[in-house]
A = this chain, B = another copy of it.
Amino acid sequence: MSDSSAKDSVERHQIRVRYGETDQMGVAHHGSHIAWFEEARTEWLRSRGVSYRELEQSGVILPVVALKIDYRSTVGYDDLVLIETWVKERGRASITFAYRAVFEQEARIIAEAEITLACVDREGKVQRLPDEV
């Protein structure tokens, strides 16, 4: 997938795997990553001075319209995961974030992802993405 090394706007956010995020394979369930990427996205916006909560309250809604995750290796309960987030593509009414989840302790990639959000208003009508995003 995308290469984060060339990007200077990569935001780093750390999460710790919750017990309830594991499944009976003994590692984090593949659905857990969705919540981590979502949390990292909120922090990416905050690092740019944007509160997604306030954006939404002002009528700018960013629903996920596509996602793609490649799982490279597993991660377990209580492990610290570094999520790198950057913008891969910015359209008139959509934005695609790229992610890399890394288990720093063992210097290995856990997952890479691309998630595309549309920009809609409260009625679900497509609208222009604000400049600050």
Contact = CB atoms under 8 A, between A and B. Distances in A.
Contacts of A35: 18, 20, 31
Given A30-B67, A31-B31, A70-B66, A38 B19 contact: yes
Contacts of A19: 23-24, 29, 38-39, 42, 52
Contact of A66 (B22, B51, B64, B69): B69
A6 interface: no
Interface in A87-121: none
Contact of A24 (B23, B68, B124): B23
A63 B71 CA distance: 9
B25 A20 contact: no
Q: Decide if the interface of chain A is mainly helix, strand, loop or mixed.
A: mixed
Interface in A40-88: 42, 51-53, 56, 61, 63-71, 74, 76-78
Given A63-B71, A68-B68, A71-B64, A20 B38 contact: yes
Contacts of A29: 19-20
Interface of A: 16, 18-20, 22-27, 29-31, 34-35, 38-39, 42, 51-53, 56, 61, 63-71, 74, 76-78, 124
